[in-house]
């Protein structure tokens, strides 16, 4: 019994989190269309008119055209040179870098081999005990030299060669052994010579020296030093190309990851394919026209805004009709663990855009780097702030003659840094709102044209012999009626939701092995989006099913006999979604103001399920928990934010729920908090009393509807009219009267086989 969130406008709820993918590929190709139209117009003119047009061209205009032609030629040469340079530097290392690495490798291998061989050629060192037994006691030692206080070289008498001895530079034999300390070595030598009875004046001379081998010292670190030096050399060689130590550094870490789209890229979406947001398209078109004909604006002294923030559910769709290079990048791609990488990528992005000017930069989800600075969350300097600072400098630094326009998309304009939104940076804020019914109808028509529709196929089969214009008119009318009906059933849907419904309808038709998509396929798809997937495996017991039937019947009767309630579309007790065991669907209209009576009637309608359970069963169930949550939020909004309580008055109290925020403390006193609780409870109690009074008076109709929905599981509006009679109040929804009421367009549909009448709002 989980409800769909209400379509009532709430203060602070400006942006949706729906996916944003289509308005943006329409930006890249707009330049072609005006040029083609212009060429067609010129071809249609008589040739005799060409000469007067040339005579009317003044020198100033001719000069501007020559300058523009020269600018285009220079731009083409720069782009060609840039592509060649990038081709040469595409690999990890250039030819010079590879040569340097090869030289370092060839130099390191012989040194390492020499050190290894020299170490292997050394004889095994003796222990002091072996030295004493084999050489000292036999009188073969000539003198001793202590080297670096840990090794002793014993020079032997001539001819005392063995497998353990080595030769010095003079050809004399010697052996080497290590000692723990000089003091212990001296004591051992004195004791041994005393034992041998050697006089003091004839004892072996001992000398002490400090000796070091530069080769042995540098060999362990030489390969590392050479490798670091080679990489540093490569980085320095690439430094003129920009980036963090070069074109993004050694491994292109600081290189911008923006994707390039241009007139050669296969971008099929244009502005004509984007419906439902005409005002937003007009604002974006100004940027496009400037890039198409900059001379026209510069001649008048006009300057195009440097950038625009796009916010709303469909914001990601600005990609492409301008016919100029379009660089698209996500805000999160500027964030890395390395210091300076984000700022380096911003510099590289704008450098590339200037080389390709006129061009467009589109930064999606700019709030990843554009959050407000200095909020005290992070002490000291933040890498994200460095990236933001570089973005601010780049946007305010390039001149208007560069012809670079920056667009950014976000759903969180409220958290952006104020410096981003000031003139000279993102001058404009283009809000792409959720479309109204006409906008949804236009969006549906765009998507329906790509599908095989049942109504269109029927016309083709029955009207194949009529005039083509009449034939096309019939198809357009059928598509228009279908789009209008679906638009009326989907209030609050964004463009991405509508595209999903159309695609889901086609999938359902294919799943049922139908040759075309019919209206009930779309309605099933809308129902799935609104209420969730049908849970066929969730089988209710007879008692549970009866409880759900009376619960939904209470909702339906309240909505039927309340003047300001939304039109009822459907009642169902088929389990759907994660927790909804049943629901009653209503069709709220597109409205921007909600009266106090509408709030109260919606609260009464939401309480209908619980009150119906109380009137027909000994105990109530947990099925009304979502209803209680909904009416509590309504009552709190009426008291805290909308000024509908006489005791509280016209005061706005922040609830801290906007954009997932939280309150550290209340902005009102304990006494006021108690008064607020009393007023919220009063609104809910009044709604409960009114609901109980209404259902008590209509208890027979509740029984009739509950029994019918228990048998059929789904009741449509026609079933409700048959059971309880016409609604006593006129519907306050023009879209409902035009497209839904009476079901004039689709009367012949089998309701038993296709019982789904999808609505815009579900109340469990």
- DSSP letters of 467-529? -HHHHHHHHHHHHHHHHHHHHHT-TT--HHHHHHHHHHHHHHHHHTT-SSB-HHHHHHHHHHH
Whether residues 135 and 265 share a domain: the answer is no
Average pLDDT of span 628-652: 91
Kindly state whether residue 686 falls inside one of the protein's structural domains. yes
pLDDT of residue 136: 82
Q: Do 154 and 275 fall into the same domain?
A: no
Q: Any idea what DSSP says for residue 620?
A: -
pLDDT, tens digit (0-9, with 9 covering 90-100), for 134-164: 888 888 888 888 887 888 888 888 877 776 6
Task: Indicate which CATH number applies to the domain containing 198.
Answer: 3.40.1690.20
Asked if the model's pLDDT at residue 601 lies above 90, the reply is yes
Q: Which two tokens stand for residue 338?
A: 């390395």
**Element holding 383 (H helix, E strand):** helix 383-397
Judge whether 267 and 261 are in contact, CB under 8 Å: yes
- Choosing from 321, 365, 385, 552, the catalytic residue is 552
What was the pLDDT predicted at 91? 43
Clarify whether residues 139 and 277 are in a common domain. Answer: no
Q: Which of 191-205, 301-315, 627-641 has the lowest mean pLDDT?
A: 301-315
Rounded distance between C-alpha atoms, residue 612 and residue 549, angstroms = 10
- Closest Cα to residue 312, out of 22, 42, 44? 22
| CATH number of the domain within which 478 lies | 1.10.8.60
Q: At residue 229, does pLDDT exceed 70?
A: yes
By the 8 A CB rule, do 149 and 182 touch? yes
- Between 117 and 513, the higher pLDDT residue: 513
Q: Are residues 266 and 363 in the same domain?
A: yes
> Which residues neighbour 57 within 8 Å (Cβ) at sequence distance 6 or greater?
none
Residues 546 and 526 in one domain: no
Q: Greater confidence, 517 or 237?
A: 517
> Do the beta carbons of residue 151 and residue 177 sit within 8 Å?
yes
Is the model's pLDDT at 121 over the cut of 50? no
Q: What confidence tens digit (pLDDT) does each residue in 17-57 have?
A: 333 434 444 444 444 444 444 444 444 444 444 444 444 55
Average pLDDT over residues 630-635: 93
- Which domain does 599 fall in, by range? 542-763
Report the C-alpha gap between 127 and 152 in whole angstroms: 11
Count up the domains in the chain and report the number: 4
For residue 433, name the pLDDT band (cuts at 50, 70, 90). Answer: confident
Residue 283 host element (H or E): helix 278-292
CA max distance for the chain: 138
719 and 633 in a single domain? The answer is: yes
pLDDT band at 259; cut points 50, 70, 90: low
Judge whether 17 lies within some domain. Answer: no
Q: Is residue 10 part of a domain?
A: no
SS3 sequence, 109-135? HHHHHHHHHHHHHCCCCECHHHHHHHH
Report the C-alpha dihedral over residues 633, 635, 636, 638, rounded to 10 degrees.
120
More confident residue, 660 or 279: 279
Query: pLDDT tens for residues 284-318?
Result: 777 777 777 777 877 887 777 777 777 655 444 45
Q: Is 728 in the same domain as 642? A: yes
| 12 belongs to a structural domain | no
Q: What is the CATH number of the domain that holds 349?
A: 3.40.50.300
With vertex at residue 657, the alpha carbon angle to CA 656 and CA 659, rounded to the nearest 5 degrees, is: 110
Indicate which CATH number applies to the domain containing 636: 1.20.58.760
Shared domain for 344 and 395, answered yes or no, is yes
Which of 185, 204, 223 corresponds to the end of one domain?
A: 204
Residue 463: is its pLDDT beyond 90? no
Would the pLDDT of 126 be above 80?
no
Both 597 and 516 in one domain: the answer is no
Token duo for residue 442: 């236009």
pLDDT of residue 608: 93
> Which pLDDT value is given to residue 352?
84
Spatial distance between the Cα atoms of 405 and 220, rounded to a whole number of angstroms: 55
**Is residue 585 within 8 Å of 491, Cβ to Cβ?**
no
- Say yes or no: 575 and 713 in one domain: yes
Examine residue 56 and state whether it is found in any structural domain, yes or no. no
3 state DSSP class of 366: helix
Q: Tokens for 248?
A: 């993004």
Residue showing tokens 């208007």 = 400
Q: Alpha-carbon Rg of the chain, whole angstroms?
A: 42
Alpha-carbon span 528 to 569, nearest angstrom: 15
Number of residues in the chain: 764
Taking the C-alpha atoms of residue 507 and residue 517, their distance in angstroms, rounded to an integer, is 9
Q: Work out the percent of the chain whose per-residue pLDDT is above 70.
A: 66
Angle at which helix 341-355 crosses helix 59-88, to 10 degrees, equals 130
**Residue 130 counted as domain residue:** yes
* 358 occurs within a structural domain: yes
Do residues 419 and 334 both lie within one domain? yes
Active site residue 552: yes
One DSSP character per residue, 689-709 reads HHHHHHHHHTHHHHHHHHHHH
For residues 386 and 340, the answer to whether their CB atoms sit within 8 Å is yes
- Strand-pair category, 404-409 with 307-311: parallel
Q: What's the CA gap between 224 and 164, in Å, rounded?
A: 36
Residue 684: pLDDT above 90? yes
What does the pLDDT read at residue 92? Answer: 42
Domain termination site, one of 478, 511, 531: 531
Here the tokens at position 402 are 């560069």
- Please give the residue that has the higher pLDDT: either 697 or 28: 697
Comparing CA positions, the residue from 419, 542, 484 lying closest to residue 737 is 484
Q: For 391-411, how does the pLDDT look when each residue is reduced to its tens digit (9 = 90+)?
A: 888 887 655 456 788 888 887
Let me know if residue 91 belongs to a domain.
no
Looking at the fold, whether 503 and 593 belong to one and the same domain comes out as no
Please state, in angstroms and as integers, the Cα–Cα distance from residue 663 to each residue in 10, 153, 515, 656, 668, following that order: 18, 81, 56, 5, 12
The region of weakest confidence among 116-120, 143-147, 473-477, 715-719 is 116-120
């Amino acid at each position: 019994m989980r409800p769909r969130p209400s379509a009532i406008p709430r203060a602070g709820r400006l942006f949706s989190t729906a996916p944003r993918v289509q308005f943006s590929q329409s930006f890249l190709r707009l330049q072609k269309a005006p040029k083609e139209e212009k060429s067609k117009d010129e071809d249609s003119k008589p040739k005799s008119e060409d000469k007067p047009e040339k005579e009317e061209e003044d020198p100033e205009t001719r000069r501007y055209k020559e300058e523009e032609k020269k600018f285009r030629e220079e731009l083409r040469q720069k782009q060609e040179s840039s592509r060649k340079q990038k081709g040469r530097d595409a690999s990890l290392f250039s030819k010079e870098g590879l040569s340097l690495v090869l030289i370092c490798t060839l130099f390191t291998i012989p040194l390492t081999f020499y050190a290894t061989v020299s170490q292997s050629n050394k004889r095994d060192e003796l222990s002091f005990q072996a030295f004493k037994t084999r050489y000292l006691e036999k009188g073969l030692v000539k003198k001793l030299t202590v080297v670096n206080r840990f090794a002793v070289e014993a020079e032997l008498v001539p001819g005392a060669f063995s497998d353990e001895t080595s030769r010095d530079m003079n050809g004399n034999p010697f052996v080497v052994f290590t000692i723990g300390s000089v003091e212990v070595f001296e004591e051992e030598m004195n004791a041994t010579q005393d034992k041998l009875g050697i006089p003091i004046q004839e004892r072996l001379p001992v000398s002490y020296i400090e000796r070091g081998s530069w080769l042995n010292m540098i060999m362990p670190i030489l390969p590392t030093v050479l490798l670091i030096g080679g990489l540093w050399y490569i980085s320095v060689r690439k430094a003129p190309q920009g980036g963090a130590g070069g074109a993004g550094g050694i491994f292109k870490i600081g290189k911008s990851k923006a994707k390039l789209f241009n007139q050669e890229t296969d971008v099929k979406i244009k502005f004509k394919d984007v419906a439902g947001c005409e005002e937003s398209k007009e604002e974006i078109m100004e940027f496009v026209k400037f890039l198409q004909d900059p001379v026209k604006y510069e001649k008048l002294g006009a300057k195009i805004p440097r950038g625009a923030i796009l916010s709303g559910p469909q914001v990601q769709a600005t990609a492409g009709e301008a016919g100029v290079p379009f660089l698209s990048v996500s805000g999160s791609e500027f964030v890395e663990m390395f210091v300076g990488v984000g700022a380096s990528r911003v510099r590289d992005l704008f450098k590339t855009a200037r080389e390709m000017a006129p061009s467009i930069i589109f930064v999606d989800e700019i709030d990843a780097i554009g959050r407000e600075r200095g909020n005290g969350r992070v002490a000291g300097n933040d890498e994200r702030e460095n990236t933001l600072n570089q973005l601010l400098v780049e946007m305010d630094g390039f001149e208007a003659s560069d012809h670079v326009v920056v667009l950014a998309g976000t759903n969180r304009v409220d958290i952006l840094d104020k410096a981003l939104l000031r003139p000279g940076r993102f001058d404009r804020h283009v809000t792409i709102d959720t479309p109204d019914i006409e906008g949804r109808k236009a969006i549906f028509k765009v998507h329906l044209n790509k599908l095989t529709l049942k109504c269109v196929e029927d016309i083709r089969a029955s009207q194949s012999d009529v005039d083509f214009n009449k034939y096309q008119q019939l198809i357009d009318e059928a598509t228009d009626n279908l789009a209008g009906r679906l638009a009326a059933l989907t209030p609050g849907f964004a463009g991405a939701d509508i595209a999903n419904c159309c695609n889901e309808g086609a999938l359902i038709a294919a799943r049922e092995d139908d040759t075309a998509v019919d209206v009930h396929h779309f309605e099933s798809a809308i129902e799935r989006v609104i209420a969730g997937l049908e849970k066929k495996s969730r089988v209710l017991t007879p008692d549970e099913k009866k409880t759900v039937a009376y619960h939904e019947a209470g909702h339906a009767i309240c909505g039927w006999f309340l003047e300001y309630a939304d039109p009822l579309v459907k009642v169902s007790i088929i389990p759907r979604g994660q927790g909804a065991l049943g629901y009653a669907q209503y069709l709220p209209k597109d409205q921007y103001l909600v009266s106090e009576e509408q709030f109260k009637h919606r609260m009464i309608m939401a309480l209908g399920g619980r009150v119906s359970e109380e009137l027909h069963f000994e105990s109530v169930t947990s099925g009304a928990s979502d209803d209680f949550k909904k009416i509590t939020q309504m009552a709190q909004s009426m008291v805290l934010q909308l000024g509908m309580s006489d005791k509280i008055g016209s005061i706005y109290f922040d609830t801290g729920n906007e954009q997932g925020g939280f309150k550290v403390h209340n902005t009102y006193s304990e006494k006021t908090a108690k008064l607020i609780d009393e007023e919220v409870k009063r609104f809910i109690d009044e709604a409960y009393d009114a609901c109980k009074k209404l259902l008590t008076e209509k208890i027979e109709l509740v029984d009739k509807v509950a029994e019918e929905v228990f048998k059929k599981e789904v009741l449509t509006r026609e079933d409700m009219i048959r059971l309880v009679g016409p609604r006593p109040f006129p519907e306050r929804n023009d879209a409902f009267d035009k497209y839904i009421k009476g079901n004039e367009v689709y009367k012949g549909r089998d309701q038993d086989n296709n019982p789904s009448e999808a609505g815009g709002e579900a109340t469990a």
